[in-house]
């Protein structure tokens, strides 16, 4: 456990050594940003709309009382979407989509000697392969979470429009009432940390793959499992510290 | 010139290399041969720095490579070209991008100059016009040739080749051997080839190192190999009936 943690920290240190040529690394960063950001937009849009709609319906179901104003449904949906559903569920989905792809890509490069080829050329392989992925993760995953929040709230609106539990006017009023901007900060901090966790852990697992195609699959699985565990753990820590 | 001095390499309790010393001269094809598990590839990886030897030194033209850190090794590594057993071409890049990759990172050439160099290297390995193909679209022999083109793109002083004939038909194997031989002589490169292919040994083995049980068992040339009385080497070289028949005719 401590041996792995040490290897992980050393790998991160190697990943952020001065690049051999900035323009080549920059092109890799752009490529990874497109892969992480644009490539994940579809799945994030779909899950966000459904999660927002389900959150609204379930909140409305639990708050059926004449003593509770209907607008509160919008407020609860907004807070739970921004604080928890969008960053955490998006991150868990992205660990599966982006993380497994990164771990298997780097793992395949390892077992087919492509990483050895980079090192023979004098290229800092962790820097060239991992740092662009981490930069793409910490920039694009927060942007995806912003998209997820907007679409989640739209999903809630659609759920209100499609049912008679809460009117759309009450829902929109609830969204704007008693808004505390600190939840946006918490959401952004979570998204940045989750982006780092997914990309760094999965890259680490891929980089130290040893064996053949079977081990590449195992590395990808380990990367996703450890990312999910760390996402939930860091979610708890950030919520405890910032709220 | 590359000199290796008393190289030992241990993995856990398994001592793979047991004090190997040799000198690899420029303009010569230096072959490391031996049976499976004899330590050939481990020795090659120790020489190029993919493994750190447990003990011993690797010296490139008087510079001790083993004592250097990553940054200090970069100038030597830019003078190294290597062809891997499975070619190790970057899957996400075209043939042209693979060849231009080290040029992009380590030279200040313009794009046109880099393209010219890539085209020259492709022409040199008889793959003119294959620039835009991806590795998945190439045959095994073509991948090897692209691997060689990438290895020579930086005009290396040292060329390392790991099992150049594995997975190739005999005719393509001979073409690859001839190509390695031509490049070695043409550019006076110090070439180190790990192989267990006897056609390569007899065809291009200017200087041969035979490893057995992690030790240097025999050293000589392809002209001397047929007349040696070294039992282990004879068992290795003349393992097939074809080679035994060839020996009988000598």
B contact test, residue of A27, A32, A110, A122 with most B CBs within 10 A: A122
In this complex, which of A20, A112, A124 lies closest to B88 when CB atoms are compared? Answer: A112
Residue B241 CB partners (closer than 8 Å, separation 6+): none
A113: closest CA of chain B, how far (Å) = 5
**Residue A117 and residue B82: Cβ atoms within 8 Å?**
yes
In this complex, which of B73, B91, B104 lies closest to A21 when CB atoms are compared? Answer: B104
pLDDT value at residue A20: 86
B9-50 tens-digit pLDDT: 999 999 999 999 999 988 889 999 998 889 999 999 999 999
> With an 8 Å Cβ cutoff, is B82 touching chain A?
yes
In this complex, which of B82, B85, B91 lies closest to A120 when CB atoms are compared? Answer: B82
Give the count of beta carbons closer than 10 Å to the beta carbon of residue A49.
Answer: 20
Residue B151 CB partners (closer than 8 Å, separation 6+): B81, B82, B83, B159
**Residue B77 and residue A114: Cβ atoms within 8 Å?**
no
Nearest-angstrom CA–CA distance, B83 and B87: 6
Categorise residue B12: left if φ over 0, alpha if ψ from -120 to 50, beta otherwise.
Answer: left
Name the residue of chain A whose CA is nearest to B83's CA.
A117
Domain B2-79+158-249: assigned CATH number: 3.40.50.300
B124-143 tens-digit pLDDT: 888 999 999 999 999 988 99
- CB-CB neighbors (< 8 A) of A21 in chain B: 104-106
Name the residue of chain A whose CA is nearest to B108's CA.
A21
**Residue A121 and residue B85: Cβ atoms within 8 Å?**
no
pLDDT value at residue B250: 60
Cα A232 to chain centroid distance, Å, stands at 11
Q: For residue B189, give the 3-state DSSP assignment.
A: coil
Task: In chain B, list all ranges with CATH 3.40.50.300.
Answer: 2-79+158-249
Q: Report residue B166's pLDDT band, with 50, 70 and 90 as the boundaries.
A: confident
Residue A224 has pLDDT above 90, yes or no: yes
Name the residue of chain A whose CA is nearest to B105's CA.
A21
Residue B134 CB partners (closer than 8 Å, separation 6+): B91, B93, B94, B95
Q: Kindly report the average pLDDT of chain B as a whole number.
A: 90
pLDDT value at residue B249: 67
**Residue B77 and residue A117: Cβ atoms within 8 Å?**
no
pLDDT above 70 covers what percent of chain A? 100
Nearest to A159 by CA among A83, A55, A69: A55
Nearest-angstrom CA–CA distance, B6 and B16: 13
**Residue A113 and residue B86: Cβ atoms within 8 Å?**
yes
Give the residue extent of every domain in chain A: 21-242
**Residue A122 and residue B49: Cβ atoms within 8 Å?**
no
Nearest-angstrom CA–CA distance, B200 and B208: 11
Q: Report residue B165's pLDDT band, with 50, 70 and 90 as the boundaries.
A: confident
Q: What is the DSSP string of A65-128?
A: -TTS-TTHHHHHHHHHIIIIIIIIIHHHHHIIIIIHHHHHHHHHHHHTTHHHHHHHHT--HHHH
pLDDT above 90 covers what percent of chain B? 64
| Burial (0-12, 13-18, 19+ Cβ within 10 Å), B242 | exposed
Nearest-angstrom CA–CA distance, B16 and B8: 7
CB A138 within 8 A of CB A195: yes
Helix (H) or strand (E) holding B142: helix B140-152
B210-224 tens-digit pLDDT: 999 999 999 998 888
> With an 8 Å Cβ cutoff, is B187 touching chain A?
no
**Residue B102 and residue A121: Cβ atoms within 8 Å?**
yes
Name the residue of chain B whose CA is nearest to A116's CA.
B50
> With an 8 Å Cβ cutoff, is B239 touching chain A?
no
B36-52: burial string, b at 16+ Cβ within 10 Å, e else: eebbbbbbbbbbbbbbe
CB A165 within 8 A of CB A213: no
Say how many CB pairs under 8 Å bridge A and B. 54
- CB-CB neighbors (< 8 A) of B58 in chain A: none
pLDDT value at residue A237: 96
Reported residue count of chain B is: 250
> With an 8 Å Cβ cutoff, is A237 touching chain B?
no
| Prediction ipTM score | 0.89
DSSP 8-state assignment for residue A38: I
- CB-CB neighbors (< 8 A) of B50 in chain A: 116, 119-120
**Residue A113 and residue B70: Cβ atoms within 8 Å?**
no
Helix (H) or strand (E) holding B9: strand B2-11
> With an 8 Å Cβ cutoff, is A213 touching chain B?
no
Partnered with residue B18 across adjacent β-strands are B8
pLDDT value at residue A182: 94
- CB-CB neighbors (< 8 A) of B85 in chain A: 113
Nearest to A113 by CA among B162, B84, B194, B39: B84
Map tokens 């290297």 to a residue.
B121
Alpha-helical (H) ranges within A122-212 are 125-129, 131-162, 168-176, 182-207
A contact test, residue of B65, B88, B110, B194 with most A CBs within 10 A: B88
> With an 8 Å Cβ cutoff, is B85 touching chain A?
yes
Nearest-angstrom CA–CA distance, A45 and B196: 56
A51-100 tens-digit pLDDT: 999 999 999 998 878 888 889 999 999 999 999 999 999 999 999 999 99
Nearest-angstrom CA–CA distance, A50 and A162: 13
Between the alpha carbon of residue B67 and those of residues A11, A114, A196, B157, the distances in Å are 21, 25, 35, 20
B69: closest CA of chain A, how far (Å) = 12
> With an 8 Å Cβ cutoff, is A119 touching chain B?
yes
| Burial (0-12, 13-18, 19+ Cβ within 10 Å), B74 | middle
Nearest-angstrom CA–CA distance, A72 and A174: 5
In this complex, which of B74, B86, B91 lies closest to A122 when CB atoms are compared? Answer: B74
Retrieve residue A222's tokens: 């380990």
Name the residue of chain A whose CA is nearest to B86's CA.
A112
């Amino acid at each position: 456990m401590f041996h792995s943690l040490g290897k992980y920290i050393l790998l991160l240190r190697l990943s952020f050594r001065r690049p051999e040529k900035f323009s080549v690394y920059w092109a890799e960063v752009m490529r990874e940003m497109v892969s992480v950001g644009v490539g994940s937009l579809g799945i994030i849009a779909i899950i966000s709309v459904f999660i927002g709609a389900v959150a609204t319906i379930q909140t409305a179901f639990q708050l059926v009382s004449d003593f509770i104003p209907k607008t509160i449904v919008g407020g609860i949906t907004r807070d739970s979407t921004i604080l928890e559903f969008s960053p955490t569920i998006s991150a868990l989905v992205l660990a599966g989509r982006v993380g497994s792809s990164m771990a298997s890509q780097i793992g395949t490069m390892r077992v087919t000697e492509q990483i050895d080829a980079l090192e023979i050329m004098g290229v800092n392989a962790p820097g060239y392969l991992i740092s662009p992925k981490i930069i793409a993760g910490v920039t694009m995953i927060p942007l995806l979470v912003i998209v997820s929040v907007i679409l989640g709230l739209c999903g809630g609106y659609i759920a209100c429009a499609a049912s008679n539990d809460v009117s759309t006017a009450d829902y929109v009023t609830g969204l704007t009432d008693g808004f505390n901007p600190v939840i946006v900060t918490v959401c952004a901090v979570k998204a940045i940390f989750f982006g780092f966790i997914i990309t760094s852990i999965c890259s680490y697992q891929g980089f130290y793959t040893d064996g053949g195609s079977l081990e590449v699959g195992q590395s990808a699985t380990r990367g996703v499992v450890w990312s999910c565990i760390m996402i939930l753990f860091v979610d708890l820590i950030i919520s405890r510290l910032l709220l | 010139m590359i000199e290796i001095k008393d190289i030992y390499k241990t993995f856990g309790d398994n001592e793979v290399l047991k004090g190997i010393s040799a000198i690899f001269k420029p303009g010569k094809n230096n072959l490391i041969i031996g049976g499976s598990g004899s330590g050939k590839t481990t020795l090659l990886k120790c020489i190029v720095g993919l493994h750190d030897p447990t003990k011993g030194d690797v010296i490139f033209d008087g510079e001790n490579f083993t004592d250097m850190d990553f940054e200090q090794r970069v100038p030597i590594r830019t003078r190294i070209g290597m062809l891997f057993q499975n070619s190790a071409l970057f899957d996400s890049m075209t043939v042209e991008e693979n060849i231009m990759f080290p040029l992009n990172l380590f030279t200040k050439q313009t794009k046109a100059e880099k393209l010219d160099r890539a085209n020259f290297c492709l022409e040199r390995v008889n793959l003119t016009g294959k620039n835009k193909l991806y590795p998945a679209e190439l045959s095994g022999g073509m991948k090897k040739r692209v691997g060689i083109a990438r290895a020579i793109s930086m005009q290396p002083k040292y060329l390392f080749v790991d099992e150049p004939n594995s997975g190739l038909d005999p005719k393509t194997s001979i073409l690859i051997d001839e190509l390695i031989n031509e490049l070695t002589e043409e550019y006076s490169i110090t070439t180190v080839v790990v192989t267990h292919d006897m056609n390569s040994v007899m065809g291009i083995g200017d200087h041969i190192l035979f490893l057995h049980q992690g030790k240097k068992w025999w050293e000589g040339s392809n002209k001397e190999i047929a007349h040696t009385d070294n039992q282990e080497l004879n068992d290795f070289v003349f393992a097939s009936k074809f080679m035994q028949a060839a020996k009988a005719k000598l």
